[in-house]
Structure 1
Amino acid sequence: MIAAAGIEQTITSGTLVLALPLAALAGMVSFLSPCVLPLVPGYLSYVTGMTGEDLAVQRKGRLVAGVGLFVLGFTFVFMAYGFIFGGLGHWLHAYEDAITRVLGAVTIFMGLLFMGLFTGLQRTVKSARLPSAGIAGAPLLGALFGLGWTPCIGPTLGAIQALAVTEATPVRGGVLSFFYCVGLGLPFLVTALAYRRALGVFGWVKRHYVLVMRLGGGMLVAIGVLLLTGLWTELNNELRVWIGGFGTVI
């Protein structure tokens, strides 16, 4: 009971109430990015040991198991980032205002980078050794995805880690990163459950990549402006007051 109440208080605090949906949305934007979406069928094939033809006939049990383990692999990596950056924010709490504004400027740059205004700066670091194809290697491949694709999805992930620093505790940073992983991981699972339909949606997204990237980058720029101007802190303070005005209904 006490632990559950503590978790609920952490998630419903003023800062995270505002940050968590943005983190989940950033994860979804990462999934739709050109460096992830085109590779999804290949990932699904690799983590299940199934060919494209097998995927198309919807062997859902093996698909969901492999994808679930893959998602757990990169969730572990990204949550570790959140704990580290949240701890860094706690250590530098005395300089919170200055750091928040610097992170705001960095996040604006990340947003512009995501829009494609600075070509050549997004890179991936691919491992020369990959785990064996199939469900057994799925968690390790997920972890390698988290490590190797970090530079590629850096704009969205970087914005979330900037918010993790402002949360100023490892736990809050970890929770924030977890919601980012929910936004990134759920589309993988939905694809596993509805592979044929998902491919149709992928085709539409690919035809409208410019719009997707501009909207995603615009979201990051908006977060950066809020951080840079101090409006993020003001909004969080307003939310604390608003949430504090509600009593628990028994």
Structure 2
Amino acid sequence: MTTLHTAETLIAAETFNQTVLSGALLLALPIAVLAGLVSFFSPCVLPLVPGYLSYVTGVSGSDLAEARKGRMAAGASLFILGFTAVFVSYGALFGNFGFTLEEYRETITKVLGALTIVMGLAFMGVLGGFTQREFRFHRRPAMGLAGAPLLGVLFGIGWTPCIGPTLAAVNTLAFNEASAARGALLTVAYCLGLGVPFLLAAVAFRRALGAFSWVKLHYVWVMRAGGLMMIAVGLLLVTGVWDRLIGGLQVWSSTFTPGI
């Protein structure tokens, strides 16, 4: 039994290394989470949070602060699952493209890195507000928990142009991973950054309003920070520094065995 257990542990550790620690994920996952946070606090998402919470819970806006936390958490979680399904499919698709186009990956990564820099500038408002537009669906699903996943899907599709700069940066990293599984994992991290604040706002709505007010007063700095992050990622990709950082992490991760 001990030998069998040891063999299973080694196999699990190797699988963990190949899936999570290989490639750029160690570097890219925190960036994806941060990109999700920036998306949540952007001007085209944050002001709409009370309205979304009202729709996915079936509770009127004036009663959100007094609603049961269980219902609020359930509605927010179903909403998050809806848009996560959409964004993860994007990440898997870009990761698969990276694998399919492996021969041209270096050139395409540099092109996507340059586009990420442009997106970062646009996110900061340097290139105008065209990237802040969104396609809104005028037909809303029925209010309440039953309609929450569908509203999440509609958010994922309809708000993609609005949060496009940050999502594009994450999908560029997914392409660089050259793996559908790792690309999907990367967008799961993005959805955590975007979704956890939704969930926290749902279970602590009254306190969240105070935090939202502070962010609204500092929107300019939120957008600048997000834009600078994307520009930095784009520069790393274009100059090849990203690949060198990955190389160093791969050497480190090859000697790392998690304590399973």
TM-score normalised by length of structure 1: 0.96
Q: What is the alpha-carbon distance in structure 1 between the residues aligned to residue 17 and residue 182 of structure 2? A: 12
Question: Equivalent pairs: percent with the same residue?
Answer: 60
Distance 1:81 1:248, change over 3 A: closer
Alignment of 1:203-242 (within 5 A): 203-242=213-252
How far apart are residue 218 of structure 1 and its match?
Answer: 0.4
CA contact (8 A) 1:30 1:36 kept: yes
Is 1:54 the counterpart of 2:63? The answer is yes
- Given residue 160 of structure 1, which amino acid in structure 2 is its aligned partner? V
| Cα shift readout 1:79-128 (whole Å, capped 9, x = no counterpart) | 00011111111111001111111111000001011101122312211123
How far apart are residue 246 of structure 1 and its match?
Answer: 2.9
Correspondence for 1:109: 118
- Give the ranges of 4+ consecutive aligned residues of structure 1 lying more than 6 Å apart after TM superposition: none
CA contact (8 A) 2:17 2:253 kept: no
How far apart are residue 8 of structure 1 and its match?
Answer: 5.6
Correspondence for 2:92: 83
- Given residue 113 of structure 2, which amino acid in structure 1 is its aligned partner? G
- Given residue 36 of structure 1, which amino acid in structure 2 is its aligned partner? V
Q: Count the aligned residue pairs.
A: 250
Across the aligned residues of Structure 1 and Structure 2, the Cα RMSD in angstroms comes to: 1.5
SS state at 2:24 partner: helix
CA contact (8 A) 1:108 1:222 kept: yes
Is 1:92 the counterpart of 2:76? The answer is no
Q: What is the alpha-carbon distance in structure 2 between the residues aligned to residue 150 and residue 159 of structure 1? A: 13
Distance 1:39 1:76, change over 3 A: same
Correspondence for 1:153: 163
TM-score normalised by length of structure 2: 0.92
CA contact (8 A) 2:82 2:148 kept: yes
How far apart are residue 193 of structure 1 and its match?
Answer: 1.3
Distance 1:48 1:247, change over 3 A: closer
Structure 1 runs not aligned, ≥5 long: none
Q: What is the alpha-carbon distance in structure 2 between the residues aligned to residue 127 and residue 4 of structure 1? A: 45
Alignment of 1:100-179 (within 5 A): 100-122=109-131, 123-179=133-189
Q: What is the alpha-carbon distance in structure 2 between the residues aligned to residue 226 and residue 146 of structure 1? A: 28
State which drifts further: 240-249 or 63-72: 240-249
CA contact (8 A) 2:33 2:189 kept: yes
How far apart are residue 4 of structure 1 and its match?
Answer: 8.1
Is 1:181 the counterpart of 2:177? The answer is no
- Given residue 20 of structure 1, which amino acid in structure 2 is its aligned partner? L
Correspondence for 2:4: none
Structure 2 runs not aligned, ≥5 long: 1-7
Structure with greater Cα Rg: 2
Is 1:194 the counterpart of 2:214? The answer is no
CA contact (8 A) 1:47 1:138 kept: yes
